[in-house]
């Protein structure tokens, strides 16, 4: 399905069945990825759990979270994506917040790529490392995870995919959810290192790209997770580190 056709159909009752038929014929992997994503989230989330999806983008992950019965706050700064999210995620269990997140509240210039609707960032450093046609900036409000939690409650899971701004997002969180995830890029592990250092007493695991499964057979300490990430094959382009808030030692 082309992006143009998707944007026309999304939010209509026919969108999901048409997408299924199209992907059954031309993109079977997309159906398998959605199924795997739902199964993965259901392994640690229960119906009614509150989730913050930071950097919700076009809503693929929020859709999967809703499918397992979670209540989702989808947070997205790019106004292009917000329009799609509000049409796509029509449910009493989903709230779309049109803002960026950071360590403090205010406003900031969001860099937007004209050739890719899925790319925008507050990080100039991250933008310079991406092959994208940056068309300029748009001024967006910036909130904190603390302010979102004050409005909606403490979530069980916080998913962060903030295009190089993950550590700044997490510095705006004084509470500790049961589970947090953030993106890592093997070509630039400094951001992942910063994020890991924010959770010194947590256990860690990780997911590679869209495999939707934990790669380690046990949760490891903050001292062990970085060497495991550095040992990944050069073919791995990205992934997500998961932290688990433990009361006791890592097992």
User: How sure is the predictor about 82, in pLDDT bands with cuts at 50, 70 and 90?
Assistant: very high
User: How sure is the predictor about 119, in pLDDT bands with cuts at 50, 70 and 90?
Assistant: confident
On average, the pLDDT of the chain sits at 88
Higher pLDDT, 174 or 21: 174
pLDDT of residue 12: 64
User: Who's near 77: CB < 8 A, 6+ residues apart?
Assistant: 98, 99, 100, 110, 120, 122, 140
Per the listing, tokens 């509000």 go with 86
User: Averaged over 83-97, what is the pLDDT?
Assistant: 89
CA nearest neighbour of 215 among 182, 239, 189: 239
Q: Are 129 and 170 in contact (CB under 8 A)?
A: no
User: Averaged over 150-174, what is the pLDDT?
Assistant: 96
Instruction: Locate 26 and state its tokens.
Output: 């031309």
Q: Judging by beta carbons within 10 Å of its beta carbon (0-12, 13-18, 19+), is residue 18 exposed, middle or buried?
A: middle
CA nearest neighbour of 76 among 52, 104, 92, 93: 52
pLDDT of residue 235: 93
Higher pLDDT, 66 or 8: 66
User: Averaged over 107-125, what is the pLDDT?
Assistant: 83
User: Is 22's pLDDT higher than 60?
Assistant: no
Q: Are 171 and 198 in contact (CB under 8 A)?
A: yes
CA 104, chain centre distance (Å): 20
pLDDT of residue 95: 96
User: Averaged over 216-230, what is the pLDDT?
Assistant: 95
pLDDT of residue 126: 82
Which of 75-79, 117-121, 199-203, 221-225 is predicted least confidently? 117-121
pLDDT of residue 127: 81
pLDDT of residue 117: 61
User: Averaged over 70-98, what is the pLDDT?
Assistant: 92
Q: Are 145 and 173 in contact (CB under 8 A)?
A: yes
What is the maximum alpha-carbon separation in the chain?
Answer: 51
pTM above 0.75, yes or no: yes
User: Is 250's pLDDT higher than 50?
Assistant: no
* Alpha helix positions (H), 153-221: 166-170, 190-197
The C-alpha atoms of residue 235 and residue 142 are separated, in whole angstroms, by 35
User: Averaged over 133-158, what is the pLDDT?
Assistant: 95
CA 237, chain centre distance (Å): 16
């Amino acid at each position: 399905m082309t992006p143009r056709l998707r944007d026309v159909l999304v939010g209509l009752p026919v969108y999901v069945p048409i997408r299924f038929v199209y992907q059954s014929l031309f993109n079977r992997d997309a159906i398998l990825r959605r199924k795997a994503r739902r199964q993965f989230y259901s392994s640690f989330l229960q119906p009614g759990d509150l989730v913050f999806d930071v950097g919700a983008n076009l809503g693929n992950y929020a859709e999967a979270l809703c499918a397992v019965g979670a209540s989702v706050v989808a947070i997205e700064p790019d106004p292009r994506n917000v329009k799609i999210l509000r049409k796509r995620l029509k449910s009493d269990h989903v709230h779309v917040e049109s803002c960026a997140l950071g360590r403090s509240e205010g406003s900031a210039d969001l860099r937007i790529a004209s050739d890719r609707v899925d790319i925008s960032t507050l990080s100039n450093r991250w933008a310079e490392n991406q092959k994208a046609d940056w068309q300029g900036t748009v001024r967006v409000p910036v909130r904190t995870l603390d302010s979102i939690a004050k409005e909606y409650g403490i979530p069980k899971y916080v998913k962060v995919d903030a295009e190089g701004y993950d550590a700044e997002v997490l510095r705006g969180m004084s509470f500790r959810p049961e589970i947090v995830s953030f993106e890592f890029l093997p070509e630039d592990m400094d951001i992942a290192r910063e994020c890991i250092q924010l959770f010194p007493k947590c256990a860690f695991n990780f997911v590679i790209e869209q495999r939707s499964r934990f790669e380690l057979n046990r949760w490891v300490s903050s001292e062990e997770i970085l060497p495991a990430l550095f040992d990944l094959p050069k073919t791995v382009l990205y992934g997500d580190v998961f932290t688990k808030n433990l009361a006791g030692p890592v097992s």
